[in-house]
Structure 1
């Protein structure tokens, strides 16, 4: 206040007209309240200093008057003693009880927490070699390692047919799509890819997104926002993209225990049949390798009037005679005989209302998609913000994806080799007492049990054994269930597998990590060392693993596939 008074001597007509003696005899504060400038500043200061509420105390700039030149009466120099800015609105802040938010402190604290609980993530510099995969090099090209944790499950990211298609398309059509599909991104490559995807899942239509995370988020959020009173039933182990979409949907949700049909039915039965419902789940859960009881979930959906939303991200390319996923695999023999043709209407694949999948794992490129009934896909195309406002995939990527899907439709031998290599690793690790979490799929999760040891094991495999296996910790898996997640490809034959098994065994010995017997002694965890753990039979049967490409219907080899009408819009 004293600094304000001193500055007022030079600018305020009232103060200049009074003697020092007179000023001492009056209440300067009370007189100043009548001043257009000082009165406003004092009012703001009184408010901010008396308030205990953490709200902003500045007033709008329109409160203050400027002269004809647009400058305020007080200069920066005149206000310098009070350490305020030229704008008098901020003078009020100096005397408030408030302090600025400590952004830097907040960020430092959050990062410190990650480091303290050992879940802070370090990214290794892994450069996959197109003509040597599963080999890659580190930052230095001469430092080679073997990759054992890629989601490029079939090595299609290095397939020569895919590379050739992408190179040719890149040279002809350039690097990018030019914008969103609605503006500049619709082209023959999108039309062809969506036709391939619809034919793969034997659905009426499909829609391609920039990723499956975006697809899941966009579709689930749209359904909840647009479908009044929708209730979404979500498996507790669903992927973060589905959780995000359900959260953004603002719909009522029911979280059911993982693969627990009794719990799901109990929750479904709480709602009238007239209430719209959606059951959202995955086919293969990527961190534990469990597989959903898809057919039984479809039965419950029919019984209680629910739609089904199936995420086949970790199953497309990997299951079924043509790589359409677990839903296709459940009617394996029929689809094998039919090839690209449809089968009965009540097949598992036909009973699923929506399937989402990725082009970035078994198909080796990038992108996501959804398939389903024509009107449903057209609705997503017309309303889903994650599709409308996102730049389209580049033409070269879509061309590569189409070739990859066509190749895998006619190449069962890759899936067979991948499954055999997976079984070899699981069997030999189990013989050594290494704690492989039991499951019927292609995922090989090795339980460690804490973030620190998981990180150390991963580092030791890389630094001492030239093997890259990433540690998986919270929030991807619960705290206390940290693990190494191993995945084989058709290229990880016995020679590579033996190197991995010996290295993991050595690391477990050196770090004294718990094995199956140790987990059994403490009651078991994640199915490891638990006598009550139910181990399902492998999805791929021994008989199916004897099939070759010659056993496929010839109609799957370079078939003619008509475009989806939805891709370009349905004419009236």
Structure 2
């Protein structure tokens, strides 16, 4: 017997689909429509990968991966993942609360707490979830708290603050005078939380941590720091930017992830034991989901431990970053001011940005994903160029020359 959808239900669904069509059409018209390039990463040849075009396989050299240190292919990391897979199988079998906590969780969380000099740490399924859930819980624990949030904070921080229900004051990006003025306008006895990043992923800027720590004491505030792009890359043991500056003890809650320098996936927060325990007990995005599988945790643990002992990967990365910046400037390309390992090249138009990216891939075999709105403001479209420790000097020089040619052609 054939079932029919009621007319009113069809109308609602048609209205929903029409709204989706209108949105997608607007994105295509204004240049913010996103396309993805399906890649087959090559474990024995990173940062090269393969992709398919018109039925044929092509190779590309990837210049936009967050796998900064090539740890996703490191022999120790891969071996740890394989051993965990052979021993424990693929899935975790449940949520952290119901059979899904493995010994790897326990070991990894202890390792992270020690890495950051904190009492405790908690692993989440992603860095986004770690920010979103931790901030949400902080708001429930201390509803009178006032949040001061950097104007260029990551979406996960913005959504976490929104979820918290706390009063939010946005200060100008990296502006200590603006932050100080807004702190000073609040009652001295009001509890305050400054939320910022150690490295801003679209611009490559460092957060002004020394000055923020001084303001913390002057205005009786706390600090929540996103170290997603700093952990693994900065500090003698890979503990991040704050640690490299001798400021880790000043940070009340540190958030990090395994999906960048550590070459795995997942995120975490570290801080006081009772606070971390409260997040564990209260965060719905932690409680009501299947936990990370053992092989991912084993890989992350092996990567964290290796980068605590080895500076080889970091030294190679920074040498390559220096060469990349020199080559881009030698070709007089509009490199944005970035003191970190993230190197944005300003294009300023979404269609031109995609055109340059397409030409790099099609004509020269280099892949850099265009960065358009809403990741950056309109008029600030860019190529976020990221070199890894595994890139060869000849490829970096060839990439800079190819980019110069593609940008000249697209102008």
Give the TM-score of the pair, scaled to structure 2. Answer: 0.95
2:19 aligned partner: 106
**Could you say what secondary structure the match of 2:269 adopts?**
strand
Q: Between 371-380 and 129-138, report the one with greater CA deviation.
A: 371-380
1:431 and 2:330 matched: yes
Give RMSD over aligned pairs. 1.5
- Indicate the residue corresponding to 2:188 in structure 1: 273
User: Which residues in structure 2 correspond to 1:63-212 (within 5 Å)?
Assistant: 100=12, 102-139=15-52, 142-212=57-127
1:299 alignment partner in structure 2: 214
Following TM superposition, where does structure 1 have runs of at least 4 consecutive aligned residues deviating by more than 3 angstroms? none
| In structure 2, distance between residues paired with 1:317 and 1:245 | 24
Pairwise CA distance, 1:142: 4.1
Q: Quickly say closer, same or farther: Cα 1:141–1:222, change in 2 above 3 A.
A: farther
Residue 226 (structure 1) shift? 3.0
Contact 2:143–2:165 under 8 Å retained in 1:
no
* Structure 1 residue 394 corresponds to structure 2 residue 293: yes
The structure whose residues are more often strand, as a share, is 2
Q: Quick one: higher RCO (CA 8 Å, sep 6+), 1 or 2?
A: 2
Please tell me whether residue 258 in structure 1 is matched to residue 188 in structure 2: no
Hey, what's the Cα distance between the residues in 2 that align with 1:406 and 1:241?
27
Q: Which has the larger radius of gyration?
A: 1
Aligned to 2:201: 286
Please say if 1:308 is aligned against 2:207: no
Q: Name the counterpart of 1:383.
A: 282
**Residue 141 of structure 1: how far off its partner (Å):** 7.6
Query: Which residue in the other structure is 2:164 paired with?
Result: 249
Pair 1:473-2:372 in alignment: yes
2:131–2:255 contact (8 Å) kept in structure 1: yes
Contact 2:242 2:248 in 1 (8 A): yes
1:415 and 1:382 map into 2 onto residues whose CA distance is 36
Check conservation: 2:331, 2:401, Cα contact below 8 A. no
Deviation at 1:373, TM superposition (A): 1.2
Say if 2:144 is the partner of 1:234.
Answer: no
Tell me the equivalent position of 1:326.
241
Output the CA distance in 2 between the equivalents of 1:384 and 1:107.
31
- The separation in 2 between residues aligned to 1:198 and 1:223, in whole angstroms, is 19
Match of 1:370? 269
In structure 2, distance between residues paired with 1:248 and 1:479: 27
Distance 2:130 2:51 in 1: 32
5+ residue gaps, structure 2: none
TM alignment of 1:538-557, pairs within 5 A = none
**What SS does the corresponding residue of 1:169 show, helix, strand or coil?**
helix
2:354 is equivalent to residue 441 of structure 1 = no
- Output the CA distance in 2 between the equivalents of 1:265 and 1:138: 49
Paired position in structure 2 for 1:64: none
Instruction: Give deviations 1:209-237, integer Å, cap 9, x for gaps.
Output: 00010010001112123312211110000
The corresponding residue for 1:19 is none
Structure 2 residue aligned with 1:502: 401
**Is structure 2 residue 251 aligned with structure 1 residue 352?**
yes
2:284, 2:182 → 1: CA distance? Answer: 30
Q: How many residues are treated as equivalent by the alignment?
A: 402
- 1:492 is aligned to 2:405: no
